[in-house]
Amino acid sequence: QGSAETRSRFESTDTTAITIGAGANQLLIATVAYVGNPGAVPAISSVVYNTTETMTAVPSSRKVAINISASEIAIELFYLKAPTQGTLSAVVTLAAATYAVVVALACYDDVDQTTPFANVNTNTGTDTTPDVTITSAVGETIFAAANTIQTAGAITTTRTLTAADSG
C-alpha cells in the first residue's frame, strides 16, 4: 500500500509522513529502531498517527541488544488498525533523546482486524547472517524487521521484509 522512512540524530521525537491510499482492512506498522548508552536506551513514550490515533506496541516485539561499538540498539514494532487514509504523519516520542532513531512505516491491505499478528518472535546476534523463525500458515503474510549498527551512535542499515507463506 505505502511505505516511508526517516532518520534523526540526538532527538527525542521523529516525524515520518506516509501516503495511505484507499483499501479495506488496512494495518499501519511502524518499525522504530533507536540507539543509546548501555543500560540507558530510552523507552518509547508514544507513537501517534494523524495527531490523534495512538499506535499500539506489538506484544513481545521490543528487543534490545549491545553491539560491538558498546552502544545498545533497540527495535520495536507498533501498529494501527484502519488508519485514516491520505498523506499524514506518525510522531514517535521517546522518554529521552537518543543517539539515533530510524522510523519506517508500512501499510498493508486485507489484514485480519481481530488478530493482525498470529505469531511474534525476536532474536539478536552479532554475526553477518541474522535469522529468526516464525511459525505461519499458508497464505499468511510474514513481516520482519532488522537493523545493524557499525559505529557508535549510528544505525547504518534498517530493513523490513514482507513475504507470503506459500507452504
Task: For residue 65, give the amino acid letter.
Answer: A
Is pLDDT of 151 > 90? no
Q: Residue 50's pLDDT is what?
A: 96
pLDDT digits (tens, 9 = 90+) for 72-130: 778 888 999 999 999 999 999 998 888 778 888 999 999 999 988 888 877 766 666 76
Q: How confident is the model at residue 66 (pLDDT cuts 50, 70, 90)?
A: low
| Cell numbers representing residue 55 in the block | 499506535
For 1-53, write each residue's pLDDT tens digit. Answer: 667 666 666 788 889 999 999 999 999 999 888 877 777 778 899 999 999 99
* pLDDT in the model for residue 48: 97
Q: Where are the beta strands (DSSP E) in 58-138?
A: 63-66, 72-81, 86-108
Distances (CA, A) of 57 to 29, 30, 67, 68, 69: 10, 9, 24, 27, 28
Residue of higher predicted confidence among 111 and 136: 111
